Copies of this chain bind each other. A is one copy, B any other.
């Protein structure tokens, strides 16, 4: 299934979905591109343009039905079913990911945690028994895992990624502060709080 929709548009869809979830939680049934835009600090024109890549989900004069648009975005982003994710690295970040309540109802579920530290293996995190790295290949194969979150020291991140990809993982959320190289067709996103902070401190004269 090919796409000529700009990646920058795709990157905004989860933000729209997040806002719609919020409105739904508050019981709001109808919204508009203007309201969403104000909520998110984005122009209404951009929101309409972005959505128009996928069809017309609104009604002239009225706006968007929150629940309909929400469901539609979930389908577009392939999160109308739940993806199983493995966590690699059982340090503090790995622990936080294993416990994170924010995956529920947003399309993801952590199904296993791996580490190579003998002191950690076998211990439990929130119901998961930490498994040894040597078992990860079989696990990924057996459960057809496509997504992983990597929270290992920077020097191991590339090796871990290689191994994951070799066994069929297609998307990696990388918490190690290092850029990893992957073949075409494999997707990587980065979580680097320091990079985000540095982005802000540029604007702050110290």
Which residues in A have some Cβ–Cβ distance to B below 8 Å?
1, 3, 10-11, 13-15, 17-19, 22, 39-41, 76-79, 81, 83, 85, 92-93, 95-97, 99-100, 102-103, 106-108, 146-147, 149, 154, 170-171, 173, 177-179, 181, 187, 189-206
Contacts of A95 in B (CB 8 A): 92, 95-96
CB distance from A180 to the nearest CB of B (A): 10
Chain B residues with CB below 8 A from A108, complex form: 194, 197
Residues in B whose Cβ lies below 8 Å from that of A97: 193
Whether the Cβ atoms of A78 and B171 lie closer than 8 Å is no
Pick the contact of A22 from B3, B173, B178 — CB < 8 Å?
A: B178
CA distance A199 to B171 in the complex (A): 10
Cβ contacts under 8 Å, A206 to chain B: 78, 81, 83
Q: Which residues of B contact A107 (CB under 8 A)?
A: 194, 197-198, 201
Contacts of A22 in B (CB 8 A): 154, 178
Q: Which of these, B93, B96, B146, B198, contacts A14 with CB under 8 Å? A: B198
By the criterion CB–CB under 8 Å, are A79 and B171 in contact?
A: no
Partner of A79, one of B103, B179, B198, B205: B198
List, sorted by A's number, 18 A–B pairs whose CB atoms are closer than 8 Å.
A14-B198, A17-B198, A18-B177, A18-B194, A19-B179, A77-B198, A78-B201, A81-B206, A83-B201, A102-B194, A103-B194, A108-B197, A173-B193, A173-B200, A187-B199, A187-B200, A187-B204, A191-B193
